[in-house]
Structure 1
Amino acid sequence: MTPRRLGPVLLFVLASIAIAPAQPAVEEGASRDSSEPARRLHLRWVLTEPPSGEPARAEADLILAIEGPALPATSGWALFFNFPLVVDPLPKGSPVQVHHVNGDLWRIQPKAGWKSKRLPNPLKISLRFEGSAVNRSMAPNGFYLREQVRDTFRTTPVTLELPSHVDTRSMQRAAEDVVPPETAETRYRFNQEAARALVKMPKSGAASHLVLPTPRRQRVGKGSVVLESGSRIGFHPDFAAEARFLKEALRSHFAIEARLVEAGRPDGATVWLNRGELSDLAGEQGVRAEGYRLTVRPKDGVRIDAETAAGAFYGIQSLLALAEPLAYRTKGRSLDLPEVDILDVPRFAYRGMHLDVARNFHGVASVKKVLDLMAFYKLNRLHFHLTDDEGWRLEIPGLPELTSFGAFRGAGDGELPPSFGSGPERIGGFYSAADMIEMLRYATRRHIEVIPEIDLPGHARAAIAAMKHRNRRAEGADQKRAPGLLADPHARLSLHDPADTSRYRSVQGWRDNVLCVCREDTFLFIDKIVETLVGMYREADAPLRTIHAGGDEVPKGAWLDSPDCQAFLKAHGIQDKNPQDRLFSIFFERLHRRLAERGIRLAGWEESALITREGGHEGGHADKPNPLLLDPPIQAYVWNDVPGWGREDTAYRLANAGAEVVLCSAPHLYFDLAYQKDFQEPGYYWAGYVDTYKVFRFAPENLFASATHDRMGQPIDPARYTHAARLTAEGAKRVLGIQGQLWTETVADTEALEYMLFPKLLGLAERAWAARPSWEMAKPSASREGQVARDWGAFADRLGRRELPRLDHLFGGVAYRIPLPGARIERGVLKANVRYPGLDLRYTEDGSEPTPSSQAYKGPVSVTGEVIRLRSFSGNGRASRTTVVRGARESGGAPGKGD
């Protein structure tokens, strides 16, 4: 992760971990010795002190109890686990020691010289560590025991069990943290406030409720048009691909078999895709090339007018959105479309979604589904994060080790080390060249441009380690054992300086994850990757206009003691007080020129576009835009506008200086951040918590008003931004758009992927496409917040009544996050609510978990149980986590205590 992806945040609670009763796994090359009895380990994690000091450190006890043979006190075993934060050395009197292996991998092992042959049982290990851990994603995980059994080693995975409830004190992230933990009561109050805005909204049949994102102009009539099997789709020849897309969409979504008719006029066609000028868009602010007009009239049928194929495609998405959500479930072979007249144009040309497949791999089917959903909600850029420290995910013909070695993690010698709780077994995956070409074609048909990211020069450990592995093969190779390897010009490319003694540690804990920017091998390697990408895009007939080269989080200290870099600096006459920063800038200047020669635009995280001034980030603005990256302008993806970190105006400074900017706001658009402050809620929270409301209220052209409170819940004084840069008129033209980010350290499977994406992505689509809301440019005030609440009420109503029911079945169904009910008990009466209308609330009084057949909550109801459990249910029977309310028999008017 990054400070943008993680940062030091750890405080911990209580967990118990037990070895699963299954047969233990054996490390590669080892054999199982069945005569050695197995052990059962029980681990408990008990918080003893919350974070304090600067930097904040918490204390906890790891209590290890063993059933079966005791572990020897001197040698022969080690307990490995992943933990994202820094653990201090153990005190001298401890019988064990904790070592940082690399990245987030740690090892506990016996300390030499312990006075006894056996460890105490139970053994209490007192740990002190940075930060806080107030949810399950910050828990140490991926435990496995590696022990010597005779002449082999046995590796046994360990299962982690987490507490179901955590007290308020343990949820404190720091002394200044005033964000209340999510409880039944806090949810109830929030939902109650939102409901006051909801009741003022028009009914769901109104024009503003039919299509999301909200069209620029729309009118709804009283008539309708029916599409059914046999309906004819006429189209302009330039829109043939879009007509085929519509035909297939009608078949897959509604079982309608339409007919295609290429014609110069709409006679006899139920749907007509017409190419023509949209003169009515002349006065609208937006991207006219992607605009469209959609009319549904009983006498004329359905007509989509557009100037480009992209515009026609988005008109088709709005046509599909007019269908009632129920139609996606029933597939009734006909579709009743309401009479409408919609004129529409997007606000931003760049409407993006970033997907990290390096930290945890997600296969072709998952990526295609993301592309389908992006297209449905009119997003048009997939920022594809293909490489990082923990994995290289794209086949590069000629460099097979990048994927045979660099795409897998495990405890063996032929893979990267475990990360993010991946455990000792070999796990991972990659896209073959054919897979990549298939995904590119799939995206292009949906008018989505795929921007590949090869993260450089930091976040490159997977590549560095894979090339080291390749070089070891080359060193022992001969023509007979490895035909062609020695003759390959890339056989012995080294991405690191073997004599480099620089000491550094990345945000994610890596000590060897930075490419040597002073070696020509590094640029030969990059050229090979770029050449391969160019070939894949050419074969897919997909545009490769931009390559994202990362540029983030190069740790302090890299290259300083590299003989290669010292020689480079001397050869070029460079004498700089900050040689690391100078080398960083030179690297991106060279890369910028090399890509420009191929007609490809360089993109990178904001760090890549900045020159760091002497003194680093201390004392205000520590950097300035690099003028050598402005012709052609670099595309800077700006993530760090975290309130209070002093970089909130970076995006505007870059845009004003001439860079093209994509707004990636961590506190609003990082979808890997947890929805709420709840121990059971997955995701990180280093930049705060991000739910759909937080995404919805993002203000691209008034960033300083996007939030009223900082990540710790403290109110933001608008005076803080008195001297911050504002967008100039020219700078505003260079803000290309906005992008949501999904980093996947905590996202290991498709269900988790969809949970973190939805419904947040719907808020992203609204802000990226819809016109600038009336409140965006207003100064912070109670009046502005009232307008935001009003618009959010309308949006939440649309989500609950149309979009979430549609997502239950769209593209096979989406596992979006279902909000927990809010609840309280007053004088024995249960009162409950939920964030979005349309969800079904069920409750029990006997302590059992609510199911779809449990008692339905329809309104305030008398209850007698001591413990009331509630869950929200979607239309297809999926459930939220459980809300628990206690105190039903309490007297008086105070609400009962909740979860």
Structure 2
Amino acid sequence: MKQTFKLGMLSAAIAAGLTGCGTLQSGSPQQNIVDALSSQLNISYDIVTNHGVQEGMACQEMGAEWASCNEITMTVVNDGDAVESNDWKIYLHSIRVILEVANKDFTIEHITGDLYVLTPTESFKGFAAGETIEIPLIQEYWTLFETDFMPRAYVVSGDATPKAIESLNTENVDAFVSEIEGNEYKRVPEDNNILATAASRFAKNSDVEALSEGAIEAAIIPTPLKARQMRGELNVAGGFAITNNALDAAQLAAFEERAELLDVNVKGDVALNINVDAKAFEGEEAVSGAYKLAINAAGVDVLGYDSVGAFYGLQSMLALMSKGDAEVLPWVAIEDAPRFQYRGVMVDVARNFHSKEAILRTVDQMAAYKLNKLHLHLTDDEGWRLEIPGLPELTDVGAERCHDLSETSCLLPQLGSGPDSDNFGSGFFSKADYIEILEHAKARGIEVIPEIDMPAHSRAAVVSMEARYKKYAEQGDLAKAEEFRLMDPMDTSNVTTVQFYDKRSFVNPCMDSSLNFVNKVITEVKAMHDEAGMPLSTWHFGGDEAKNIKLNAGFQDINAAEPVAWKGSIDLSQQDKPFAKSPMCQKLIEEGVVSDFGHLPSYFAEKVSGVVAEHGIENFQAWQDGLKYSKDASAFDTKNTRVNFWDVLYWGGDASAYDWAAKGYDMIVSNPDYVYMDMPYEVDPKERGYYWATRATDTRKMFGFAPENLPQNAETSVDRDGNGFNGKGTVDHNDGFYGLSAQLWSETVRTDEQYEYMVFPRVIAAAERAWHKADWELDYQAGKQFNQQTTHVDKDAQLQDWTRFANVMGQREMAKLDAAGIQYRIPVPGAIMEQGTLHMNISMPGLPLQYSVDGGKSWTDYSAPVAIEDASNVKVRALSADKQREGRAVSL
């Protein structure tokens, strides 16, 4: 007889008797249910359709934004004994709004963010042994990539210890997601994206010639401003004898560490002279980071405009060397200076945490490729990641995710973190960790810019300070309880944020305690910077997306007199702007301090800039939409105000960017459709990433980005649906841009390995564009139009430039990433069969290629076209440069 688990009156009484301090003892009936379901349920997901509206689904009536919805099937198989209880819940993660569950035996309820709870109804009779149950779920928008599905759904029953469902407790999402087939990879009928296949990759790579070693021996990434190669080479096998008059001890140690990584001897006899002389540089080359490098028969001379420039000169010398083969250097004369003074990488450690070690590895690579700003997104709704002395709740609560519905001990699980805190959903940098990062960055010429995001994206802070409030209120110390409180307890605003949180996602800008909090955090972070010897010179406010998405244009009122077919119908009378029902904010509006509730985020940004200025911090930085209601840069109290510009080009960003620069802001190009590294590499459902801005950004696309003449990109790239768009210089003014930054948001990026896969190697292409303006980049010109039909861009020159870059990457740089332990994405090769012969290529020539004729059971190195009798089981893949890792294998 098969054992079953039931919770009748007797077992409930037993459970009550076993309960102590709110926790059931091991072996309780409810714990038995959790243990059984978590181990026995085999859950998988299938896409039924991504084209709900075209197939007659009631997307509009269900309130889907833009009346767009899809259907998936959640299949639950009980692989064990029968479980007849209804006393359980399954908490699951969904990045899409779940509108309806089409199975009478279950209900689904939104908890917060991406967390939902699936509950059996009275009609559900339990899981029979071996039973299969299908649960259709109707969701908003589309499900186009496998990583849209989050792992680690978990089971809860009463006060039993929750457990992740074992079949979903994996980072291998294709273990529980069926293949996305047919045209389900398309968003809408007008979607003209080309699905990445072996054949399409082969066609894309076919114009990239494999260059000889001699053709790239003097090539450096990023490309120098001026470079001349002379006939001759310097033998450095005996190692270098360093004469250092430029670098401090930490900088010299950082150089020697990089040299050692590449097997370069710095204890030899070849002259390596390192000096600084700002007077030797003139005009545009007289800037921080400029250098001159001369390699000839006498040795190597590096001259920097400043110590950072001297450090960069040494990096260029190392760039000429191959890992493990550093015996000769070509004779060169280089004069170099950066294109932008701000060459940044933003890393989101808030949505999912990334380790100190991963950040230090990133800093090393930033230095090697002359990137100089590490922008750390330290806080968001899903996590607070920096220890703040005096506010332990920020990390005790805000840095932990676990199943605590009260959220007094941790934040609720999000983004596939499951019920426990033993994964990258939890974690933070201690004060010592952060200081170590600062010191490591300083030695490599990199400024660390902390971002404490507010007033939106602040749920981790708000919830943490509510826990602090409760603690001190219970002690009777209301003054201390309210000192750093961030939420108006009387605010009843009904708000849904971009990632589906409520009003607790917002720091209230109308409370004195909010500015107290800002001052406290800045004080402590500034002290850490001072201790590390890297004065805090830039404060990033965040500022983005402070809105209620239910008030977006994709919705209409359910009682609209003339409803349109392409908007979701909801009761708009129940929706509020953020803070609209906060009495404290209502008072500011009534007194005329702020004109309306929509202006409160910009108002708060201006107030925070005053606190920043009082601390002697020169630069105030934000995402541009957070400042949109401020007059211009003069509204802020700091010496400089900078904006990360993140409008999508094909939605008008190619024009609006120039307006921000004209308002006096230091404009940092940060466009999602070109330099967001959380977007997929290619149009392949097996790639990782969000895709609201673009379906694909590979290294080649990032390399081909023109960051100063934004309309130009319309000629060389497409929108998210694979269609052309128009770019036009619509404004006469062009005040120039201050910098370029590549971003990595971490919603789908949970582990360090996934993080490095998404960042590398394409961040090196961003470094190329930040440092060097290519000849094929045209100057901005008012009135000039670009699209897929225009021929303004010299595409032959662009191809030649990419071919050089791709060959240097494949033949030299990827091996250096291997040596540094970087788990970069190995490109998926292209392949075709022609007349019984297999032809293969790759986007970065030089990386090893392999093929299999038995479906991947055994592999053979590929070097030239090879005859194959039976192509039915052929698979292809590439290897890392050191041949220690395999890339994703694909069939022909």
TM-score computed with the length of structure 2 as normaliser: 0.85
In the TM superposition, 1:36-115 aligns within 5 A as: 36=32, 38-39=36-37, 40-53=40-53, 54-68=66-80, 70=82, 75-90=86-101, 94-111=104-121, 114-115=122-123
SS of the residue aligned with 1:100?
strand
Q: 1:843 aligns with which of 818, 829, 851?
A: 851
Inter-partner Cα distance in structure 1 for 2:83 and 2:588: 52
1:559 alignment counterpart: 579
Q: 2:687 aligns with which of 674, 678, 681?
A: 681
When residues 376 and 531 of structure 1 are mapped into structure 2, their CA distance, relative to the original with a 3 A threshold, is same
1:504 alignment counterpart: 495
SS of the residue aligned with 2:602?
helix
When residues 607 and 442 of structure 1 are mapped into structure 2, their CA distance, relative to the original with a 3 A threshold, is same
1:573 aligns with 2:587: no
Q: CA deviation at 1:690?
A: 1.0
1:171 aligns with 2:190: no
Letter in 1 for 2:78: I
Q: CA deviation at 1:257?
A: 4.7
1:143 alignment counterpart: 153
Please identify, of 630-639 and 516-525, the stretch whose mean Cα deviation from structure 2 is larger. 630-639
1:423 alignment counterpart: 418
Please identify, of 223-232 and 425-434, the stretch whose mean Cα deviation from structure 2 is larger. 223-232
When residues 207 and 410 of structure 1 are mapped into structure 2, their CA distance, relative to the original with a 3 A threshold, is same
1:695 alignment counterpart: 702
When residues 79 and 342 of structure 1 are mapped into structure 2, their CA distance, relative to the original with a 3 A threshold, is same
Inter-partner Cα distance in structure 1 for 2:839 and 2:419: 47
When residues 868 and 772 of structure 1 are mapped into structure 2, their CA distance, relative to the original with a 3 A threshold, is closer
1:882 alignment counterpart: 889
1:481 alignment counterpart: none
The runs of 5 or more residues in structure 1 that have no matched partner are: 1-25, 260-267, 328-333, 479-485, 613-623, 886-899
TM-score computed with the length of structure 1 as normaliser: 0.84
Q: CA deviation at 1:241?
A: 5.0
In the TM superposition, 1:385-396 aligns within 5 A as: 385-396=377-388
When residues 749 and 592 of structure 1 are mapped into structure 2, their CA distance, relative to the original with a 3 A threshold, is same
What's the CA shift string for 1:624-677, capped at 9, x where partnerless? 75752386442011011341x234322210101211111101100001111011
SS of the residue aligned with 1:774?
coil
Q: CA deviation at 1:307?
A: 2.4
Inter-partner Cα distance in structure 2 for 1:286 and 1:52: 57
Q: CA deviation at 1:324?
A: 2.1
Inter-partner Cα distance in structure 1 for 2:301 and 2:508: 57
Inter-partner Cα distance in structure 2 for 1:782 and 1:797: 26
In the TM superposition, 1:123-272 aligns within 5 A as: 123-148=133-158, 152=160, 154-160=162-168, 161-163=175-177, 165-192=179-206, 194-195=207-208, 198=209, 203-206=212-215, 209-227=218-236, 231-236=240-245, 242-254=251-263, 256-258=265-267, 270-272=271-273
8 Å Cα contact 2:278-2:286 kept in structure 1: no
Q: 1:583 aligns with which of 600, 614, 630?
A: 600
Q: CA deviation at 1:131?
A: 1.3
Q: CA deviation at 1:771?
A: 3.1
1:459 alignment counterpart: 457
1:897 alignment counterpart: none
Q: CA deviation at 1:349?
A: 0.6
2:4 alignment counterpart: none
What's the CA shift string for 1:720-770, capped at 9, x where partnerless? 636x33542xx11xx111000011112222211111111111111110111
1:801 aligns with 2:799: no
8 Å Cα contact 1:27-1:154 kept in structure 2: no
What's the CA shift string for 1:832-868, capped at 9, x where partnerless? 22111112221121223454xx253521423324210
Q: 2:621 aligns with which of 603, 612, 631?
A: 603
Q: CA deviation at 1:825?
A: 1.8
In the TM superposition, 1:387-786 aligns within 5 A as: 387-412=379-404, 414-427=409-422, 428-477=426-475, 486=477, 489=480, 492-511=483-502, 512-556=504-548, 557-570=577-590, 572-574=591-593, 576=595, 579-600=596-617, 601-611=619-629, 625=632, 628-629=635-636, 632-643=639-650, 645-688=651-694, 689-708=696-715, 709-718=717-726, 721=728, 724-725=730-731, 727-728=733-734, 731-732=735-736, 735-777=737-779, 780=786, 781-782=790-791, 784=793, 785-786=795-796
8 Å Cα contact 1:696-1:792 kept in structure 2: yes
Inter-partner Cα distance in structure 2 for 1:361 and 1:278: 45
Letter in 2 for 1:41: L
Inter-partner Cα distance in structure 2 for 1:526 and 1:236: 42
8 Å Cα contact 2:233-2:328 kept in structure 1: yes
When residues 163 and 522 of structure 1 are mapped into structure 2, their CA distance, relative to the original with a 3 A threshold, is closer
Q: CA deviation at 1:115?
A: 4.1
8 Å Cα contact 1:636-1:659 kept in structure 2: yes
Q: CA deviation at 1:350?
A: 0.6
What's the CA shift string for 1:276-318, capped at 9, x where partnerless? 2564x535x45633211111111x2111112211110100111
Please identify, of 651-660 and 796-805, the stretch whose mean Cα deviation from structure 2 is larger. 796-805
8 Å Cα contact 1:456-1:549 kept in structure 2: yes
What's the CA shift string for 1:178-227, capped at 9, x where partnerless? 101111111111111x23xx36x6x4434675311011111223333344
8 Å Cα contact 2:243-2:272 kept in structure 1: yes
Letter in 1 for 2:242: I
SS of the residue aligned with 1:634?
strand
SS of the residue aligned with 1:745?
coil
1:382 alignment counterpart: 374
Q: 1:347 aligns with which of 339, 349, 360?
A: 339
Inter-partner Cα distance in structure 2 for 1:356 and 1:552: 14
Q: CA deviation at 1:608?
A: 2.0
RMSD value over aligned CA atoms? 2.7
The percentage of counterpart residues that share the same residue type is: 31
When residues 726 and 665 of structure 1 are mapped into structure 2, their CA distance, relative to the original with a 3 A threshold, is farther
Inter-partner Cα distance in structure 2 for 1:320 and 1:490: 55
SS of the residue aligned with 1:458?
coil
When residues 883 and 153 of structure 1 are mapped into structure 2, their CA distance, relative to the original with a 3 A threshold, is closer
| Number of residue pairs matched by the alignment | 800
Q: CA deviation at 1:609?
A: 2.2
Inter-partner Cα distance in structure 1 for 2:117 and 2:142: 20
In the TM superposition, 1:242-391 aligns within 5 A as: 242-254=251-263, 256-258=265-267, 270-277=271-278, 279=280, 281-282=281-282, 285=284, 288-298=287-297, 300-327=298-325, 335-391=327-383
SS of the residue aligned with 1:159?
helix
Inter-partner Cα distance in structure 2 for 1:31 and 1:492: 40
1:822 alignment counterpart: 830
1:873 aligns with 2:864: no
Inter-partner Cα distance in structure 1 for 2:700 and 2:625: 28
When residues 214 and 63 of structure 1 are mapped into structure 2, their CA distance, relative to the original with a 3 A threshold, is same
Q: CA deviation at 1:451?
A: 0.6
Q: CA deviation at 1:693?
A: 1.2
